[in-house]
């Protein structure tokens, strides 16, 4: 490999234009772009010559060393990542979202016919290589194999060709879920019973239990990141902001610029950086309430307003607006506890009386999904998990300003 890179064979394009008036030896080793730029006026050429003499030797040697030979191009184009399948095994059907980290496509596996979601990884800072955020997401999803967590099937890549500037593109391949909760809730034609709600919440707490037991914080709980499969299984998705946490002391400081504003707990709004799994439980409480209200219960447009709304609401939840399910209100109350240390954990939530009184939850909510005709991604306009945090576009017409994940959204890749 080294020899092909350092070999002195020139690419076929490397010949001087016949009109060249300069002595041939002067840029014998320069690549053609450099050659072309030095054909400008001869006076500027003379000015530069003095300083060029000292560096030209080193420069020419370096250029020679870095020359892209036909052998190298062939090597790059034929290079196979040993453990990574080619994305050509999948047939892209349609784009279902545009997210911070790249586009998302619905695709079909050519071998099995199974539907998948292909999440393209944006390589914006190519010098830095594979984005740390994507790497983190892959690593965590490998640990989180569970029925109620989105299923990462594999990572695959496209061939490096001249068309994509000799760089492979990488994709995360997920099992495809037809719907996301934000979209489902925005469709008022869909009737959701108490049994459905109990079943969904049981799935959600089971997923959170697995995540938290694996010492991971999700940090982006919201209805758009809750996927619903056609066979009535709820799956938590989008681990783009998730991170491992450590129980050891001294406790680590994390960024408080996580969680979409409407689902952000009071301790984060107050600047806490030593938060725990309870931040995800707050989000679970918001999502649970949304199963009745059909839209996010606190829609502040600034951190200050969000905090005021929380203070107004969390004295007590107004029971009159609810279908008189006192146990549901009680559970939400315990999830939306202002004090994070008093907030219910996933395991305790699963033991709540809400799940032990009729009507009881079922194994799935397939009967509900059978009533849903169209895929809910049309409603969410790219706000969901498959879309991985689309720019501030919300669930369809329901709420035009879905806030960014954080007010300082441009620092996505620096999130710890």
User: Looking at the annotation, which residues are catalytic?
Assistant: 220
CA atoms in the 13 A half-sphere facing the CB of 58: 5
CA–chain centroid gap for 168, Å, is 19
Helical pair 194-213 and 278-293, crossing angle rounded to 10 deg = 170
Strand partners, 226: 236
18 to 26, 27, 180, 404: CA distances (angstroms): 15, 14, 63, 56
Paired tokens of 177: 């879920």
Q: Would you tell me how many other CB atoms lie within 10 Å of the CB of residue 405?
A: 25
Strands 102-109 and 243-244, by their bridges, are unpaired
Burial of 56 (0-12, 13-18, 19+ CB in 10 A): middle
- Whole-angstrom distance, CA of residue 206 vs CA of residue 149: 9
Q: What are phi and psi of 149, to 5 degrees?
A: -130, 135
Confirm whether residue 119 is marked as ligand binding. yes
Which region, left, alpha or beta, applies to residue 317 given φ > 0 means left and ψ of -120 to 50 means alpha?
beta
Strand-by-strand arrangement of the 234-236 sheet: 179-180, 226-228, 234-236
For 102-163, the three-class secondary structure string (H helix, E strand, C coil) is: EEEEEEEECCCCCEEEEEECCCCCHHHCCCHHHHHHHHHHHHCCCCCECCEEEEEECCCCHH
Paired tokens of 228: 């619903």
User: Before 91, cis peptide (omega within 30)?
Assistant: no
Query: Which of 207, 198, 396 lies closest to 292, judged by CA?
Result: 198
List binding-site positions for ATP. Answer: 119
């Amino acid at each position: 490999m080294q020899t092909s890179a350092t070999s002195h064979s020139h690419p076929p394009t490397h010949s001087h234009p016949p009109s060249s008036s300069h002595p041939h030896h002067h840029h014998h080793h320069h690549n053609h772009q450099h050659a072309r730029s030095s054909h400008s006026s001869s006076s500027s050429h003379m000015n530069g010559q003095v300083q060029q003499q000292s560096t030209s030797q080193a420069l020419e040697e370096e250029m020679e060393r870095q020359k892209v030979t036909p052998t190298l191009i062939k090597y790059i184009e034929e290079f196979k990542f040993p453990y990574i399948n080619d994305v050509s095994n999948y047939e892209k059907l349609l784009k279902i979202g545009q997210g911070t980290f790249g586009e998302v496509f619905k695709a079909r596996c050519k071998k099995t016919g199974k539907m998948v979601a292909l999440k393209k990884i944006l390589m914006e800072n190519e010098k830095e290589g594979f984005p740390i955020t994507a790497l983190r997401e892959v690593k965590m999803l490998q640990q989180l194999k569970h029925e109620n967590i989105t299923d990462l099937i594999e990572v695959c890549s496209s061939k490096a060709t001249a068309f994509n500037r000799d760089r492979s593109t990488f994709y995360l391949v997920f099992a495809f879920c037809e719907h996301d909760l934000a979209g489902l809730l925005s469709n008022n034609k869909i009737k959701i019973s108490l049994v459905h709600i109990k079943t969904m919440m049981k799935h959600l707490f089971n997923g959170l239990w697995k995540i938290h037991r694996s010492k991971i914080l999700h940090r982006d709980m919201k209805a758009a990141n809750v996927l619903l499969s056609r066979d009535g299984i709820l799956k938590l998705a989008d681990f783009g902001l998730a991170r491992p946490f450590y129980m050891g002391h001294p406790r680590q400081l994390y960024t408080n610029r996580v969680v979409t504003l409407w689902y952000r707990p009071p301790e984060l709004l107050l600047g806490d950086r030593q938060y725990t799994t309870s931040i995800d439980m707050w989000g679970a409480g918001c999502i649970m309430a949304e199963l009745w209200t059909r839209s996010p219960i606190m829609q502040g447009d600034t951190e200050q307003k969000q905090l005021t709304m929380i203070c107004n609401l969390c004295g007590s939840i107004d029971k009159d607006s609810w279908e008189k399910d006192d146990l549901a209100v009680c559970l939400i109350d315990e999830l939306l506890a202002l004090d994070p240390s008093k907030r219910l954990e996933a395991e305790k939530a699963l033991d709540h009386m809400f799940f032990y009184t009729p009507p009881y939850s079922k194994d799935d909510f397939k009967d509900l999904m059978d009533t849903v005709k169209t895929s809910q991604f049309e409603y969410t306009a790219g706000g969901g998990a498959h879309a991985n945090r689309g720019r501030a576009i919300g669930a369809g017409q329901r709420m035009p300003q879905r806030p960014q994940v954080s007010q300082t959204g441009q620092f996505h890749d620096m999130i710890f």
